Amino acid sequence: MAAAAAAAAILELDPSHERAARVIDNIVRLERRIFPKHESLARSIHDELKRRNSGLIYMTSSAARAGGDGDEVVGYAMYTCPTSLCATITKLAVKESCRRQGHGEALLKAAVERCRGRRVQRVILHVDPARTAAVALYRKAGFQVDATVEGYYAPRRDAYRMFVDLQ
């Protein structure tokens, strides 16, 4: 399980890099497959990436790199650090066929470390309580439920607001 994640590379998206457009297209396709339309960043990802305090990390598999297509994304995480007090992980997603291999955990740790590098004191995120695997992943990484936000995703579809302190 962890061997697959260890064989993968986590990269920071550099929007000026020649491959960035292909990587973003790959992420948009994943975004559309994984999330309902009203939760997807597929239409606004370019705007999100223009924000000064935002970051996007992504993971490619060693198989994708060995086959010559190093742009095949198996997972990604977006985060924003608007203040020195708090950062938000806005997205964390792993391709369905690549789940339960440690990729989500590796991406989450990498995103938190990038926030720690910016000297952020707390990282928050929102998650649908029905996504039990995601909730378990966040708890394993030390996140705690702070509150239930009613109607966060849609009427009668709540979210847990979770946090981890980095001090």
Using the predicted structure, report yes or no on whether residue 87 has a pLDDT greater than 80.
Answer: yes
Domain that holds residue 9: 2-165
How many residues are given for the chain? 167
pLDDT digits (tens, 9 = 90+) for 93-129: 999 988 898 999 999 999 999 999 888 999 999 999 9
Domain count, the chain: 1
Residue with the larger pLDDT of the pair 12 and 74: 74
For the four alpha carbons of 9, 10, 16 and 20, in that order, the dihedral sign comes to positive
Residue with the larger pLDDT of the pair 141 and 167: 141
What is the DSSP code (8-state) at residue 10? E
Q: Which whole number is the average pLDDT over 64-71?
A: 48
Rounded Cα distance between 73 and 64, Å, is 8
Helix (H) or strand (E) holding 45: helix 45-50
Residue with the larger pLDDT of the pair 70 and 142: 142
Domain containing 43 — which CATH number?
A: 3.40.630.30
Q: What is the pLDDT of residue 2?
A: 52
Bridge partners of residue 92, in order along the sequence: 77
Burial of 84 (0-12, 13-18, 19+ CB in 10 A): exposed
Q: What is the pLDDT of residue 64?
A: 44
Phi, psi for residue 101 in degrees, rounded to 5: -125, 5
Question: 53, 120 in Cβ contact below 8 A?
Answer: no
Residues above pLDDT 90, as percent of the chain: 45
pLDDT digits (tens, 9 = 90+) for 141-153: 999 999 999 999 8
Residues above pLDDT 70, as percent of the chain: 84
Pairing label, strands 73-80, 86-94: antiparallel
- Which among 133, 141, 81, 136 has a CA at the least distance from the CA of 106? 141
